Structure 1
């Protein structure tokens, strides 16, 4: 049987300029593995809670108290809830509320000698953890861009000298994704 590969475009909502990744993921991956792919490809650190919304249903870590209607992501395969053209919502960090749209751009047979998952394209660095959501990130970008901004030095120190908002390397993301195989 041929393995099916899902090509997903993962776009961070409400952030301009746009931050996105194109990843190729086995359809047999459960949603918890898709979550890990997104974390590594985007550059998040997996410090916070997350959830998926697919066709009105919520998936994630089950609520131990049973108060929230969340299906266990460990029990749901990507190919059971998505097909070419499907749009899924992924939220990371319920405080900062980073919404990601996942568009299934294509579904194809795995190349025999290729390793999956892999990141084949993308643009821009992911916002730093705990920056304060979309508005905090917008403020950070302004402060980093304007050397005379009152918070320039403080925020540059906070994000570190290695943070470059325009930078993204799909090959590095793919190297990180190799940890999942």
Structure 2
């Protein structure tokens, strides 16, 4: 009788996703399988950051743009490109832009390459800081203005902006349990 060799563990990339041009920083640390496609990673980033996936996006990796294919703009399809094909190892960086109007730029750092473990479901968020800005708030400049307004109840636009973001919005809050609950749809 032939014995079955156990499947070798797949590589896991530990990624730190940082929203650029925001202080204090908004970031997430996640672990994903190396077989994750850029299209899948787009959906994962949407969930972990807290975006609503209303807008177009693109990736820039080693000078090549990926996303919805647009040959006239030299944008390659993200559908079948796996992370293992574009990640150049630990400490490499690539970029994700969401909402070309607000231009939310994310830097993604490959912090570690790890073997997968059988008791972990991937993708998983392992930590993060601060809430994602609301959709359509005007990019990093508009978000800074929004934070200034909602921190001052005497500001003439305070009531209107609080109604827009909701009373429960707290820019310093990050709920890892909620994020991982949403990520279960990928497992």
State which structure, 1 or 2, has the greater radius of gyration over its C-alpha atoms.
2
RMSD: 0.7
Question: How far, CA to CA, are the matches of 1:110 and 1:28 in structure 2?
Answer: 12
Quote the residue 2:171 is aligned against. Answer: 165
How many pairs align? 179
- TM-score, structure 1 normalization: 0.97
Does residue 76 of the first structure (1) align with residue 81 of the second (2)? yes
Superimposed CA distance per residue, residues 29-65 of structure 1 (whole angstroms, 9 cap, x where no aligned partner): 00001111100000000000000000000000112xx
Partner of 2:31: 24
Correspondence for 1:109 among 115, 119, 129: 115
Provide the rounded CA distance (Å) in 1 between the counterparts of 2:178 and 2:116: 21
1:107-157 CA-to-partner distances (Å, cap 9, x unmatched) read 100111110101000000000000000110000000010111111110000
CA–CA distance in structure 2, aligned partners of residues 163 and 176 of structure 1: 19
Structure 2: state its 5+ residue gaps: 1-7
Structure 1 distance, partners of 2:152, 2:25, is 20
Provide TM-score, normalisation by structure 2. 0.94
Alpha-carbon distance between aligned partners in 2 of 1:126 and 1:42, rounded to the nearest angstrom: 6
Taking the aligned partners of 1:174 and 1:3, their CA distance within structure 2 comes to 21
Find the counterpart in structure 1 of residue 55 from structure 2.
48
List runs of 5+ in structure 1 lacking aligned partners.
none
Q: Which residue of 1 aligns with 2:150?
A: 144
Offset, 1:79: 1.1
